A and B are shown apart, each in its own frame.
Chain A
Amino acid sequence: GENVEQHPSTLSVQEGDSAVIKCTYSDSASNYFPWYKQELGKGPQLIIDIRSNVGEKKDQRIAVTLNKTAKHFSLHITETQPEDSAVYFCAASMVGNYGGSQGNLIFGKGTKLSVKP
């Protein structure tokens, strides 16, 4: 089955700096890679996702890159702000072309990001 490794487990940056979190996956059939942000006491919130037919996707200060050959994907946060402080989870699954989903989401172990003002 799928296995997702996530690094680093903790990351501390100064406000305004960039943060990068990296994940690798094992199952080459996986084609959907979401990122979740979990604030203290709350459920995970989907912040961005990427599918295997694209190599990069951006949404304001957040971007995700995917390297299918190497089976790794990364989350990039630019101009970090204190409110970016949270635990970030990557995940992988296989989604059917017709819009359904066969695979369950397999999550990485999470990265605790701290942005210091």
Chain B
Amino acid sequence: SAVISQKPSRDICQRGTSLTIQCQVDSQVTMMFWYRQQPGQSLTLIATANQGSEATYESGFVIDKFPISRPNLTFSTLTVSNMSPEDSSIYLCSARAQGATGELFFGEGSRLTVL
């Protein structure tokens, strides 16, 4: 399994500001993903973080709002830009280990509250 660390674990942000969430995995992984979990809801995939290239975004999510970086195999960042109260959610980093056949592991999440 992979151990995934995220920071910050939680933050309170002002409307219009941006926040970057960092995700560090303890081993090299093939794929990294970012999910959003709105209060009491299920997990929705935002994008796949590709090493050294632009992320692949799901329908309804765009790079200008959620820029993502992945400079190496073990680290990725997600920025939530120009935040509004509707962006208040838990943002989860996840990863699939090298050689794994499907297993996806999650970080503890970053709980953002936008005032």
Contacts and interface: CB of A to CB of B under 8 A. Distances in A.
B109 A105 contact: no
Interface residues on B, range: 20 to 34
Nearest to B106: A43
A117 B13 CA distance: 39
B37 to A, nearest CB: 9
Given A43-B108, A101-B31, A95 B41 contact: no
A43 to B, nearest CB: 4
B45 interface: yes
A106 B18 CA distance: 28
Given A45-B106, A100-B30, A101-B31, A109 B101 contact: no
A25 interface: no
Given A104-B45, A104-B48, A105-B45, A49 B107 contact: no
Given A104-B48, A107-B42, A99 B104 contact: no
Contacts of A104: 33, 45, 48, 58
Interface in A6-54: 32, 34, 36, 41-46, 49, 51
A73 interface: no
B80 interface: no
Contacts of A49: 102-103
A109 B106 contact: no
Interface string B1-17: 10010000000000000
B101 A42 contact: no
A34 B102 contact: yes
A46 to B, nearest CB: 6
Given A44-B92, A101-B96, A89 B43 contact: yes
Interface of A: 32, 34, 36, 41-46, 49, 51, 89, 93, 95, 99-101, 104-105, 107-110
